[in-house]
Amino acid sequence: MRTFLASLAAGAAIVAATGAFAAQPVDWQMDLQPAATDIMRQIRWFEAYTLWFIGPITLLVLALLGWCVVRYRASANPTPSRTSHNTMIEVIWTVGPVVVLLFLAVPSFQLLTAQYTPPEDPEITIKATGLQWYWDFEYQDEQEISFSSLMMQEEDRAELGKEDKALYPRLLAVDNEVVVPVDTTVRVLVTAGDVIHSFAMPAFGIKIDAIPGRIEEAWFKAEREGLFYGQCSELCGKDHAYMPIAIRVVSQEQYQQWAGAAADDLAGANRALMAAVDGPDKMAAAAE
């Protein structure tokens, strides 16, 4: 019971948090992560919408099964019916599912179209390459920024200035986060260099396979600043569980400062950005 209450408190803290603390998985989580993009907000709406159909249908089928078991059990119905056709029942079980499927299909296709149709031309393009078992990122614009992003090892926390385990959780924190500005349309080109991986960022509503020899395209427009976590979501070998993704969303000014410095000194740019975002306690680390 104590563990369950602690998990509830952690979940409430994440929902209420703002600034650097954005979205990540929590213990005993049954709901989707809080939406950080309009697409994820639509996905959460569609999930709730489908439950209004799934719930009643499940209860109806359960009630019909219970009624048949009780009404037509051997002791109460020793002579089984030989009825082989009922027009009304066949019309109901044909038309009913068709109507339900139409109510599900229309918003589903609308959501699918929105996922592949950015509202405006992307301002930033990032190529993400999945490798066993880390990600390579390349900014394909004026700034020539490229780096590898690996899961942070526990012994490297102090060196990287990421000792806050609530903000930089075990098995999710990385050494180099992807940095993007808030309220900016970002295109992500996803591929792989060895086996099939999957680029997934739950708070953004993104999950797209990374396939060797192919380039898939996704996009997002983060509406709030913070640090967001995802993971490779395609079984890709023995260290599949240790292939996290971290995206840090910052203000336009902070992004410009980071991008200007990251091409020449990625580690220094990251430390300076952490000092600006995580608070005064990071200033000493940034100055080292």
The average pLDDT across 196-216 equals 95
Give me the pLDDT at residue 154, please: 92
For the chain, percent of residues with pLDDT exceeding 90: 68
pLDDT confidence of residue 287 = 42
Confidence of residue 73 (pLDDT cuts 50, 70, 90): confident
Taking residue 234's Cβ as centre, other Cβ atoms within 10 Å add up to 18
Higher pLDDT, 282 or 231: 231
What are the tens digits of pLDDT across the range 150-192?
Answer: 999 999 998 998 988 889 999 999 999 999 999 999 999 999 9
Q: 16-25, 100-109, 273-282: which range is least confident on average? A: 16-25
| Residue among 161, 156, 164 nearest 268 (CA) | 161
Structural domains in the chain, CATH included, are 38-115 (1.10.287.90), 124-287 (2.60.40.420)
pLDDT, position 280: 55
Mean pLDDT over residues 251-262, rounded?
Answer: 93
**Three-state DSSP string of 207-273:** EEEECECCCEEEEECCCCCEEEEEEECCCCCCCHHHCEEEEEEECHHHHHHHHHHHCCCHHHHHHHH
